[in-house]
């Protein structure tokens, strides 16, 4: 009778001892997903961070519009009409070209020039932004000059006819009257001809704007560039010129240290390249400072400015060069004032004048001495 509860107690005790172990096992594997929740979570992505994918065909076509050298440049009339508001035309649209080395931590300026010189294929080194504002400005300027030229031409014809009818000296001689009328007409047509020439210059100005520039390596380096045709719809003009025949103006330094490519300038929004023609004349080409430049503007100073690597790498603008010279002059003036006093200019002028007088006196004495020697050497009569 007394064995039954003991047996029950002994049987039930190991059952109780298994509970803590099962609880500890459940807690140890609590972080793992259960089979019940696995089906509900199967629709969720395995990774929270999305994978990078290549751009689609449409995205790539849109991206090509902003990569230099990838877009096909057309010559339609639509390309020359600006979009309103006009402020949109000043927004840069070109991205840096992939694979172009930049002067910085990875490359020095000398290494960048070496990479360009070692190219075996034509390398795009410049592409301009759209020039719709240039076309608008040139069109308006040409129209204004042409209208004023027509007005002055009408005035010249009227004043010449008036003098022809009011001529009282040679009223009977018709040939002399016509000669005087023609001379007066040519004289009064001078201002109108000047305005017509200015209108023509404004109309052909876009044909001198450079759109793209390629560097052609080889034993004789060449530069290939494109411009705009005078009439819309015509093929794009392409020019190939030896590099030695293309130079920039001495005062038109490309590198300013401002902007993404270091070419921005508040005073001048373009710089000029001069092409030396076989006849000896020079032809001007316009390059907009707002565009894509290979590496930065110092490359253009090296290629077209005919500068050394040290001068181009320093990239000291002309304004800064004048500033350095002026600071050196001020420093020397302070030293001279401290050494010789307030009237140091007059002292220096007096010392230079004294030196000149001594030199003149020595020259006179030498001349007189040579004359006396010549007299002594004369033979006796």
pLDDT band of residue 25 (cuts 50, 70, 90) is very low
- Is 60 exceeded by the pLDDT of residue 151? yes
Which has the higher per-residue pLDDT, 60 or 352? 352
The continuous run of DSSP H or E covering 14 comes out as helix 3-28
Helix pair angle (190-204, 132-165), 10° resolution: 160
Alpha-carbon distance values, 349 to 227, 304, 346, 356 (Å):
57, 43, 5, 11
Counts of helices then strands in the chain (DSSP H, E)? 11, 8
Which has the higher per-residue pLDDT, 316 or 200? 200
Residue ranges per domain, the chain? Answer: 71-130+209-316, 133-206
Q: Which positions ≥6 away from 286 have C-beta within 8 Å?
A: 205, 208, 209, 210, 270, 272
- Is 90 exceeded by the pLDDT of residue 115? yes
Which has the higher per-residue pLDDT, 22 or 287? 287
CA distance 237 to 227: 6
For the sheet containing 222-226, what is the strand order? 238-242, 222-226, 212-216, 123-128, 291-293
- Is 90 exceeded by the pLDDT of residue 370? no
Q: Which positions ≥6 away from 156 have C-beta within 8 Å?
A: 185, 188, 189, 191, 192
Taking 3-state DSSP, the helix, strand and coil percentages for the chain, each rounded to the nearest 5, stand at 50, 10, 35
Instruction: Pick the closest to residue 252 from 307, 194, 189, 291 (CA basis).
Output: 307
The pLDDT tens digits for 63-92 are: 777 888 888 888 899 889 888 887 777 777
The continuous run of DSSP H or E covering 195 comes out as helix 190-204
- Is 60 exceeded by the pLDDT of residue 32? no
- Report the range out of 30-44, 48-62, 285-299 with the highest average pLDDT: 285-299
Question: Which tokens in the block code for residue 108?
Answer: 């020095």
CA distance 187 to 146: 19
Half-sphere exposure of 104 (CA within 13 A, CB side): 8
Which pLDDT belongs to residue 169?
Answer: 64
Percentage of the chain surpassing pLDDT 70? 79
pLDDT band of residue 145 (cuts 50, 70, 90) is very high
pLDDT band of residue 150 (cuts 50, 70, 90) is very high
Instruction: Pick the closest to residue 181 from 199, 159, 198 (CA basis).
Output: 159
Distance between start and end Cα atoms, the chain = 185
**What's the whole-number average pLDDT of the chain?**
80
Which pLDDT belongs to residue 138?
Answer: 94
What pTM was estimated for this model as a whole? 0.67
Which pLDDT belongs to residue 45?
Answer: 47
- Is 60 exceeded by the pLDDT of residue 193? yes
């Amino acid at each position: 009778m007394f064995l039954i509860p003991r047996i029950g107690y002994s049987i039930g005790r190991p059952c109780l001892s298994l509970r803590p172990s099962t609880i500890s096992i459940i807690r140890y594997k609590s972080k793992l997903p259960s089979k019940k929740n696995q089906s509900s979570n199967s629709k969720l992505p395995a990774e929270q961070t999305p994978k990078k994918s290549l751009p689609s065909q449409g995205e790539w076509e849109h991206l090509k519009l902003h990569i230099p050298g990838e877009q096909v440049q057309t010559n339609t009339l639509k390309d020359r009409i600006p979009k309103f508001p006009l402020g949109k035309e000043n927004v840069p649209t070109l991205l840096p070209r992939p694979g172009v080395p930049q002067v910085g931590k990875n490359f020095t300026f000398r290494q960048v020039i070496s990479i360009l010189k070692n190219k075996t294929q034509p390398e795009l080194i410049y592409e301009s932004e759209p020039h719709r504002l240039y076309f608008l400005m040139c069109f308006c300027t040409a129209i204004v000059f042409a209208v004023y030229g027509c007005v002055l031409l009408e005035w010249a014809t009227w004043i010449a006819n008036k003098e022809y009818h009011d001529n009282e000296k040679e009223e009977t001689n018709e040939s002399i009257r016509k000669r005087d009328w023609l001379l007066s007409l040519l004289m009064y047509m001078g201002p109108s001809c000047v305005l017509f020439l200015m209108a023509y210059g404004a109309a052909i100005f876009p044909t001198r704007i450079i759109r793209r520039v390629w560097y052609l390596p080889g034993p004789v380096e060449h530069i290939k560039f494109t411009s705009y045709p005078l009439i819309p719809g015509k093929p794009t003009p392409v020019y190939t010129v030896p590099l030695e025949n293309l130079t920039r103006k001495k005062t038109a330094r490309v590198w300013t240290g401002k902007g993404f490519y270091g070419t921005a300038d508040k005073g001048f929004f373009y710089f000029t390249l001069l092409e030396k023609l076989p006849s000896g004349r020079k032809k001007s080409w316009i390059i907009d400072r707002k565009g894509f430049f290979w590496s930065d503007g110092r490359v253009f100073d090296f290629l077209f400015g005919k500068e050394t690597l040290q001068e181009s790498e320093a990239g000291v603008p002309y304004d800064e060069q004048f500033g350095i010279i002026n600071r050196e002059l001020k420093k020397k003036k302070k030293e001279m004032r401290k050494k010789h006093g307030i009237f140091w200019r007059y002292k220096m002028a007096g010392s230079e004048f004294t030196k000149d007088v001594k030199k003149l006196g020595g020259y006179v004495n030498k001349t007189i001495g040579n004359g006396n020697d010549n007299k002594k050497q004369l033979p006796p009569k």
